[in-house]
């Protein structure tokens, strides 16, 4: 046992909050050998999914794969607790294809807690952190204080408080109670402490739809939504996913003119009209009230009816987010075909909470102001379990590296969606909760979910996050792909080789096998798994595009390599005021990053480059 573990109030790393960010952060910090304490208000609520009972989707599914490659838990826990899994966008290009799984909510929490409890270096404490202690000159984290009066010393702290800081719950035109979620208290002292140590806080809001009783609806009046046949899973290489025939379906229902009439007639009770919520919410997930108002000519809006589990009676109504008064919610729901007798088990509600705008953090998720203080998840202004978990794992890795006096671990935009998300967070201004989209990634053909393991395995192995067995398995996969490509290039079909033939839009790998089936010898490639064949096909069909993106990466690397030293932007002649202000706020580390700041124009970049060149020359003259 390390010296620090003997004293239960002294840890290398303290993680505040047991949501999706906190779980991954605590797990990876402990895995990297740091004595870690996870302090969370309610242990049995660890890894709760307060919104949809689903993990994945385009962008989000990519994040889950990347978390898995970095040794995180979300992918494995999802695979063990899913009740249905789908490959989304399978008819579209490979860059946007992604898995999305329906999850047995309670199982997810239970399995995550068991996973955390297995880690020797991790302790879990049920308490609320009220204060952050930091020493001055330079401002450095020294510990935290809790509501029950404990003072815990630490070398690094990761705040992952989600929607809980100064949170209030709203239904209709009323704040119905203080709380971080409908059935949980919020955290009302920590914001003050964060202000005191120099962080600026602002407010955001998010909302969730009502849950209804499965026994009170007639799903036969809705469209059935089955899962995908075939091997689907988030984690690699375990692939222990339930069989297709054991999966359970979701359903699709629609609003109708009657639903819209109820909403329009009562719109003044909607928080969007009553003015009770002024904070920005996620535009990607608008309330049904907003959809009806904004699209008056639309005759129906889809409602995806998703079970919260095999054992649960609760149905989640995706697409029907609303925080209207509960009696109106019931009227709205009962206007939908199949839901005429629906019973609400939990009303839809909105939550308004404090967050820390993310220009205050660096690429390693450490705050710029306080050394050793890291932020991850919804507290950084993001939305979503996957976004939170991905930041959690990065904050956990970087906190552990800080303790070990090692260089930060940064993923770039051409390496991972995690890199895209963090760069977006710290470089761009966000008025609403940030979520990951495939459209945010300029190199999305390189950042596919099928190659996440190949992209990240070396980095993960070097950090000690995954074992040799996994590294070998992924290297083996890569070898099989290379051998398959070589084989295809040798086979002649008419005047072409099979590899070029596979590029044709009407040819897929199975059709190719049929064309070549009269050969005396069976192709070696035919014995490969569906997953590998799928990747081979993608590499053939998109070879030229992939090459082009790789060339762009090389071109842009020179901008990323042009580092910006500490400079006084006010002294840069010709730089526009708005650009100066944002550059002072973001403090970009490279010209590449500076060029992604919306307020910094190409002309500002040229001005900056000329200025940096002048500094460089004068330094040379000075030295000589
Ligand atoms: C009403 C609602 C609607 C949502 N809608 C959406 C949506 O539309 N789309 C979407 O993608 N996501 C949505 N989510 C967000 C999703 O739940 C979060 O993005 C995700 O859970 C964030 O993970 P996190 O780890 O950052 O924080 P959370 O999951 O919120 O976890 C925070 C944890 O910190 C603990 N904690 C807080 N303060 C303290 C403290 N001082 N001391 C100790 N422990 C503390 C809490 O108990 C909790 O366990 C919604 C959430 C809510 C509540």
Are the beta carbons of 94 and 450 closer than 8 angstroms?
yes
CATH code for the domain in which residue 578 is found: 1.10.150.570
The two three-digit tokens of residue 217, written as one number: 């609806």
126 lies in the same domain as 20? yes
**512, 546, 580 - which closes a domain:** 546
> How far, in Å, CA of 460 to CA of 227, rounded?
31
Provide CB contacts within 8 A for 494, sequence distance 6+: none
Answer whether 209's CB lies under 8 Å from 322's CB. Answer: yes
Q: What gap in Å lies between CA 423 and CA 547, rounded to an integer?
A: 24
Burial 168-193 (b: 16+ CB within 10 A, else e): bbbbbbeeeeebbbbebebbbebbeb
Domain that holds residue 523: 468-546
Distance CA 137, CA 295 (A): 55
Provide the sign of the torsion angle of the four alpha carbons 24, 25, 27, 33, taken in this order: positive
Rounded to the nearest angstrom, the distance between the alpha carbon of 339 and the centre of ligand 1 is: 29
- 452 and 497 share one domain: no
Q: Is 190 in the pocket of ligand 1 (CB under 6 A)?
A: yes
The segments of the chain whose pLDDT lies below 50 read 1-7, 624
| One domain for residues 50 and 165 | yes
Do 167 and 133 fall within a single domain?
A: yes
Rounded distance between C-alpha atoms, residue 115 and residue 133, angstroms: 30
* 307 domain-assigned: no
**Is the CB of residue 259 below 6 angstroms from any atom belonging to ligand 1?**
no
Q: Yes or no: say if 322 and 137 are a contact pair by the CB < 8 Å rule.
A: no
Q: Are strands 140-146 and 151-159 parallel, antiparallel or unpaired?
A: antiparallel
Q: Is 385 in the pocket of ligand 1 (CB under 6 A)?
A: yes
CA dist., res. 59 & res. 386, Å (int): 9
- Between the CA of 20 and the centroid of ligand 1 the distance, in Å, is 8
Is 383 a pocket residue for ligand 1 (Cβ < 6 Å)?
A: yes
Is there a single domain that holds both residue 407 and residue 488?
no
Q: Is residue 124 part of a domain?
A: yes
- Per the structure block, which two tokens stand in for 404? 């070990």
- CATH code where residue 148 lies: 3.50.50.60
Mutation probe of ligand 1 site: the residue of 116, 161, 282 with most atoms within 8 A of C-beta: 161
Ligand 1 atom, smallest distance to 130 CA: 41
Q: Are residues 377 and 449 in the same domain?
A: yes
Identify the domain boundary among 405, 438, 462. Answer: 462
Query: From the CB of 51, is ligand 1 less than 6 Å away?
Result: yes
The burial class, CB within 10 Å (0-12 / 13-18 / 19+), for 366 is buried
Whether the CB of 50 sits within 6 Å of ligand 1: yes
Tell me the CATH number at 494: 1.10.10
Report the alpha-carbon distance of residue 509 to residue 498 in Å, rounded. Answer: 10
Helix, strand or coil, per DSSP, at residue 14: strand
Q: How far is the CA of 368 from the centre of ligand 1 (A)?
A: 24
Per-residue buried b or exposed e for 113-140, using 16+ beta carbons within 10 Å of the residue's own CB: bebbeebebbbbbbbbbbbbbbeeeeee
Token pair recorded at residue 549: 């993106």
Select from 23, 72, 380, 383 the residue to mutate for testing ligand 1; criterion: most ligand atoms less than 8 Å from CB: 383
* pLDDT for residue 336: 97
Q: Is 319 in the pocket of ligand 1 (CB under 6 A)?
A: no
Same domain assignment for residues 416 and 485: no
Ligand 1 close to Cβ of residue 15 (< 6 A): no
Last residue of a domain, one of 546, 580, 595: 546
> What distance in angstroms lies between residue 33's CA and the mean position of ligand 1's atoms?
27
Task: Tell the residue nearest (CA) to atom 29 of ligand 1.
Answer: 19
* 377 and 483 share one domain: no
Residue whose C-alpha is closest to residue 98's, from 232, 225, 251: 232
**Are residues 377 and 446 located together in one domain of the fold?**
yes
For 61-83, the pLDDT digits (tens) are 999 999 999 999 999 999 999 99
CA distance 202 to 252: 37
412 lines ligand 1 (CB under 6 A): no
Contact 384, 60 (CB under 8 A): yes
Name the residue with the closest Cα to ligand 1, atom 6: 51
548 C-alpha to ligand 1 centroid (Å): 39
Indicate if 160 and 185 belong to the same structural domain.
yes
Ligand 1 atom with least separation from CA of 392? 25
Preceding amide of 138 cis, omega within 30 = yes
Which residue's CA is the nearest one to ligand 1's atom 12? 384
Instruction: Flag whether 436 is in a domain.
Output: yes
Count: domains in the chain: 3
Measured by CA distance, the residue closest to atom 20 of ligand 1 is 385
Nearest-CA residue for ligand 1 atom 17 is 50
Q: How many residues does the chain have?
A: 624
Q: Assess whether the C-beta atom of 45 lies below 6 angstroms from ligand 1.
A: yes
User: Using CA atoms, how far apart are residues 271 and 350, in angstroms rounded to an integer?
Assistant: 9
CA of 226 to the centre of ligand 1 (A): 29
Same domain, 183 and 34: yes
In a domain, 271, yes or no: no
Residue 61, C-beta contacts closer than 8 angstroms, at least 6 positions apart: 55, 88, 98, 99, 100, 234, 386, 449
Our answer on whether the CB atom of 312 is closer than 6 Å to any ligand 1 atom is no
52 in Cβ contact with 108 (< 8 Å): no
One DSSP character per residue, 82-109 reads: EEEEEEETTTS-GGG-EEEEEE-HHHHH
User: For ligand 1, is residue 591 a contact (CB within 6 Å)?
Assistant: no
In the 3-class helix/strand/coil scheme, how is 261-308 assigned residue by residue?
HHHHHCHHHCHHHHCCCCCECCCCCCCHHHHHHHCCCCCCCEEEEEEC
Residue 163, ligand 1, Cβ within 6 A = yes
387 phi, psi to nearest 5 deg: -60, -40
Q: Which residue owns the Cα nearest ligand 1 atom 47?
A: 41
In a domain, 412, yes or no: yes
Give, in order, the Cα–Cα distances in Å from 439 to each of 374, 436, 445, 576.
27, 8, 11, 29
pLDDT score of 112 = 98
Q: From 88, 93, 90, select the one nearest 541 (Cα to Cα).
A: 93
Torsion of CA 592, 598, 600, 603, to 10 degrees: 90
Q: Is residue 263 part of a domain?
A: no
Is 293 part of a structural domain of the chain? no
Same domain? 139 vs 88: yes
Q: Is residue 157 in contact with ligand 1, taking CB distance under 6 Å?
A: no
Q: Is the CB of 436 under 6 A from ligand 1?
A: no
d(CA 165, CA 271): 21
Domain membership flag for residue 333: no
Q: Is the CB of 396 under 6 A from ligand 1?
A: no
Beta-strand relationship, 36-40 and 122-126: parallel
Asked whether 25 lines ligand 1 (CB < 6 A), one says: no
Alpha-carbon distance of 603 to 506, in angstroms, equals: 46
């Amino acid at each position: 046992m390390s010296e620090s573990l003997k004293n239960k109030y002294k840890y290398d790393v303290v993680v505040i909050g047991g949501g999706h960010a906190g779980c991954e952060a605590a797990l990876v910090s402990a895995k990297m050998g740091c004595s870690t304490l996870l302090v969370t208000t309610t242990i049995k609520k660890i890894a709760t999914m307060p919104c949809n009972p689903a993990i994945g989707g385009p962008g989000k599914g990519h994040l889950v794969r990347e978390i898995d490659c970095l040794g995180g838990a979300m992918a494995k826990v999802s695979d063990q607790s899913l009740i249905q899994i789908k490959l989304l966008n399978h008819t579209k290009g490979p860059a946007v294809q992604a898995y999305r799984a329906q999850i047995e909510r309670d199982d997810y929490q239970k399995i995550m807690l068991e996973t955390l409890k297995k880690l020797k270096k991790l302790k879990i404490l049920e308490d609320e952190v009220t204060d952050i202690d930091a020493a001055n000159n330079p401002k450095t984290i020294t510990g935290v204080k809790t509501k029950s009066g404990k003072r815990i010393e630490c070398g690094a702290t990761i705040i992952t408080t989600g929607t809980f800081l100064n949170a209030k719950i709203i239904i209709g035109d009323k704040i119905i109670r203080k709380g971080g979620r409908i059935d949980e208290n919020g955290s009302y002292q920590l914001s003050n402490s964060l202000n005191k140590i120099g962080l600026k806080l602002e407010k955001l809001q998010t909302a969730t739809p009502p849950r209804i009783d499965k026994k009170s609806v007639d799903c036969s009046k809705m469209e059935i939504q089955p899962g995908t046949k075939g091997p689907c899973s988030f984690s690699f290489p375990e692939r222990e996913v339930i069989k297709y025939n054991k999966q359970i379906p979701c359903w699709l229902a629609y609003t109708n003119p009657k639903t819209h009439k109820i909403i329009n007639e009562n719109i003044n009770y909607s928080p969007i009209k009553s003015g009770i919520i002024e904070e920005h919410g996620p535009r990607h997930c608008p309330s049904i009230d907003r959809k009806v108002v904004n699209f008056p000519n639309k005759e129906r809006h889809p409602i995806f009816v998703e079970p919260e589990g095999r054992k649960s009676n609760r149905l989640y109504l995706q697409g029907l987010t609303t925080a209207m008064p509960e009696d109106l919610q019931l009227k709205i729901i009962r206007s939908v075909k199949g839901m005429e007798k629906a019973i609400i088990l939990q009303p839809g509600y909105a939550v308004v909470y404090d967050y820390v705008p993310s220009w205050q953090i660096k690429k390693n998720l450490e705050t710029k102001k306080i050394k050793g203080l890291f932020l991850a998840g919804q507290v950084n202004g993001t939305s979503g379990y996957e976004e939170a978990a991905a930041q959690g794992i990065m904050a956990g890795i970087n906190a552990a590296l800080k303790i070990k006096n090692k260089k930060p671990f940064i993923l770039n935009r051409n390496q991972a969606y995690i890199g895209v998300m963090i760069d977006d967070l710290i470089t761009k201004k966000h008025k609403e909760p940030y979520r990951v989209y495939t459209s945010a990634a300029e190199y999305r053909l390189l950042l596919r979910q099928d190659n996440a393991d190949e992209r990240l395995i070396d980095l993960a192995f070097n950090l000690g996050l995954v074992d040799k067995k996994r590294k070998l398995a992924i290297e083996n996969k890569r070898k099989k792909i290379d051998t398959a490509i070589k084989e295809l290039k040798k086979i002649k079909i008419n005047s072409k080789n099979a590899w070029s033939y596979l590029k044709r839009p009407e040819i897929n790998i199975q059709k190719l096998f049929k064309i070549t089936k009269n050969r005396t010898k069976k192709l070696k490639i035919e014995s490969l798994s569906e997953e590998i064949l799928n990747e081979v096909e993608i590499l053939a069909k998109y070879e030229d595009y992939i090459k082009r993106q790789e060339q762009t990466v090389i071109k842009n690397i020179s901008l990323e390599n042009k580092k910006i030293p500490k400079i006084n932007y006010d002294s840069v002649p010709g730089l526009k005021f708005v650009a100066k202000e944002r550059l002072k706020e973001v403090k970009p580390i490279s010209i590449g990053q500076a060029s992604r700041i919306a307020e910094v124009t190409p002309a500002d970049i040229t001005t900056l480059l000329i200025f940096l060149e002048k500094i460089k020359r004068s330094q040379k003259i000075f030295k000589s």
